Structure 1
Amino acid sequence: MSVFDIPLSRRQFGLLFSAGAVAAVPSLAFADDGKRTIKHELGTTEISGKPQRVVALEFSFVQALNAIDVVPVGITDDNQPKRIEQLLGKKIDYGSVGTRLEPNLELVAALTPDLIIADELRHSAIYEQLSAIAPTIVLNSWEGSYEVIKSSVVTIADALGEKEKGEQALATHEAIITGLVAKIPAGEKRRFLLAVANPDSMSLHSSSSFTGSVFKAMGLTPAIDSSDAVESGAGIERLVAINPDVFLVATDTGATVFDQWKSNAAFNNIAAVKTGMVFQVDRNQFSRFRGLTTAEMIAREILAKVYQAG
């Protein structure tokens, strides 16, 4: 079979010849089994057939693709492939296209994708460049609430011509969450706070953040009720004023203010500290990752840490 026997979209055909790389064309099948218009944060994108080569520019998109058994050809893995293994609980074969903050467009184009999934906050400025490479949909991952992330799973599945798979994955997930929530004792009134500890301050996650909205879905009360997902640069005075009853501190390796504040008298007067309800958690799982299985992990970890329940 010659490269001219391989079915390509018009966009891929143009990219191929403009790049002068005919001899190195991968075998891309893009069956034209109908067109659909996908609504996203920057408008609409028309997609034909079932895309086979997907590039995902945020972790939540990778997890959404995994929920419908799709492995992306390219991922912005922040040049840390171990994060993708942790995100999915397994190794997958893909090409790194740089960081989520600054995707490498040359690497994206070299993968000849037929669909790109981008984040509204990080990638709106390069939407036109991405769209020149392949059909692109833009979703809210970076500041996406739990409900937004759930709806994105169905949108991504629809873009791939697999909407029913997305709806089934969501239904399965919601059944799991319902079972986990049933284990929480009735009458829980304590206020829960997730904070990301940095070297000189903390970032406090509100009810609008992904983790904060998972708390709400579990029937728990976020300590900060705000339309802003994250309150950055918080000092100890702010934390004391919030006075959470259950305090989850997300950390990476290395020293943070959490280590410093442990010996501070004001910190030790916080309700969560006084009752032994302060827990260190993994920053990737509670802050960087977002998705259906991440929400399930958060629920399970809260059950284990706060309620000693499996």
Structure 2
Amino acid sequence: MTTLTRRRGLSLGALALAGALALSACGSSGSDSSSDAGTGTGADAAPARTHTVKTAMGDVEVPVNPQRVVVLDTGELDSALSLGVRPVGATHSATEDGFPAYLPAEETKGIKAVGEIANPDLETVASLKPDLILTSEVRDGDRYEQLKAIAPTVMTESTGTAWKENFQLHADALGKQAEAKKVVAAYDTHVAEVTEALGGKEKAAATEVNFVRFVEGSDIRIYGKQNYIGSILADLGLGRPAITDKAKDGFSYDVSPEKIDLADADVIFTSTYGSPEKAGTTKTMNSGLWKGLKASKDGKVFEVDDRLWIAGIGYTAADQILDELRTDLTK
């Protein structure tokens, strides 16, 4: 059973095109409480029904039932699919052309790629005639004016730690609040089941878990508590080593391969962004320091999919991560 089953700037010419598309996609402005349903053109056409969504960029009027949604990050893609909405367009990671493999292929089939995350092709976005765009200020804040000229654009402030709050905003924008309640309830039940499988809250708290990410072109990151994966570990009540309290802004404590011993814990999960050779994964994990870690000696090091554990940032990804945590931590 899949998790989904379980629950560039624009040229002046392009800007003109975007504005025209915005008008055709959004229709006239109307309120949810007083406007008639339907869209159209001409003096007698009924205005599109909209409702107000509070976003990081202020109040935004969005269609009550958007039909052509474009998402510009993996969290937004996860949210939409978790809520039963298949976007017409989505961005992809800079390191891969396709959408995350953890999402069932039948769910992403037909979604048009609109460029890389934080670097969308706005002309392609406009060509899809969206009636709603979902993204975040941290990714596309500097493109907000261009995006809202294409379609109503709902931005969260950031990604990562606030993923649950972001999901609620996405649900509001998509008109899927009822579905969101079911998704959250299913996740909470799943967390309780996994916690029980780990031996209960006390045993979970006594197991110190670290997450180490190897990133091409950067130092090694020992993930702290203020991030997506940190929040899932916290939901399970798992213990975290003291080093995580030193993470900058709660996000990560970065080290060189010569200080990888600081990452020691009862259990270590690792992922790699980019090439394992260029990111230093292969060299570090073959080093004496790494092999001397308690988790390494005990056979408690687990390599996981970076695009799921780090970039998923949603409930569909979280459910799959919970399953993997249960499998690995009960070995």
* TM-score clears 0.5: yes
Q: Give the Å deviation of 1:274.
A: 2.5
Q: How does 1:91-110 map to 2 (within 5 A)?
A: 91-110=108-127
Partner of 2:292: 269
> What CA deviation, in whole Å up to 9, does each residue of 1:85-142 have, x standing for no partner?
5334534211111000211111111111111111221111111111111111112553
Instruction: Quote the residue 2:225 is aligned against.
Output: 207
Q: Report the CA distance shift for 1:84/1:124 in structure 2 as closer, same or farther (over 3 A).
A: same
Q: Report what 2:54 is aligned to.
A: 39
Deviates more, 1:289-298 or 1:160-169: 160-169
* Among 257, 269, 272, the residue aligned to 1:236: 257
The 5 A counterparts of 1:79-158 are: 80=96, 82-90=98-106, 91-140=108-157, 142=159, 144-145=160-161, 148-158=162-172
Is contact 1:247-1:277 (8 Å) kept?
Answer: yes
Matched, 1:182 2:182: no
CA distance in 1, matches of 2:22, 2:282: 57
CA RMSD of aligned residues (A): 2.9
* Alpha-carbon distance in 2 for matches of 1:157, 1:18: 24
Aligned to 1:8: none
Q: Given the alignment of the two structures, is residue 306 of structure 1 paired with residue 329 of structure 2, yes or no? A: yes
User: 2 CA distance for matches of 1:116 and 1:214?
Assistant: 27
1:97 is paired with a residue of what secondary structure? strand
Q: In 1, are the aligned partners of 2:60 and 2:152 still within 8 Å (CA)?
A: yes
Amino acid at match of 2:67: Q
State the distance in 2 between where 1:47 and 1:214 align.
31
State the distance in 2 between where 1:174 and 1:86 align.
20
Asked if the contact 1:184/1:303 (under 8 Å) is kept, the reply is yes
Conserved? CA contact 1:203–1:230, under 8 Å = no
Q: Which residue of 2 aligns with 1:56?
A: 71
- 1:66 aligned partner: 81
Matches of 1:13 and 1:271, distance apart in 2: 56
Is the contact made by 1:212 and 1:222 (CA closer than 8 Å) also made in structure 2? Answer: no
Partner residue of 1:246 out of 264, 267, 292:
267
Task: Answer whether contact 2:270 2:302 (CA < 8 A) is retained.
Answer: yes
Distance, in Å, in 1 between the alignment partners of 2:98 and 2:68 is 22
Task: Work out the CA distance in 2 between the residues paired with 1:14 and 1:98.
Answer: 20
Identical-residue share of aligned pairs (%): 25
- Contact 1:60/1:289 (<8 A) preserved: yes
**1:297 and 2:312 correspond:** no
Is this contact kept in 1: 2:22–2:131, CA < 8 A?
no
Unmatched segments (≥5 aa) in structure 2: 1-15, 25-37, 41-45
Count of aligned pairs: 287
TM-score by length of 1: 0.82
Q: How far apart, in 2, do the equivalents of 1:216 and 1:88 lie? A: 27
Give deviations 1:214-268, integer Å, cap 9, x for gaps: 0010111233134635437521344323422211110255424232123433323
Separation of aligned partners in 1, 2:47 and 2:182: 24
Q: Give 3-state SS (helix, strand or coil) of 1:37's partner.
A: strand
Matching residue's letter, 1:133: I
Q: Which has the higher contact order (CA 8 A, sep 6+)?
A: 2
SS in 1 for 2:197: coil
Structure 1 residues 87 and 102, CA, compared in 2 at 3 Å: closer, same or farther?
A: same
Change in Cα spacing, 1:53 to 1:275, as seen in structure 2 (3 Å) is same
State TM-score, norm by structure 2: 0.77
Deviates more, 1:258-267 or 1:215-224: 258-267
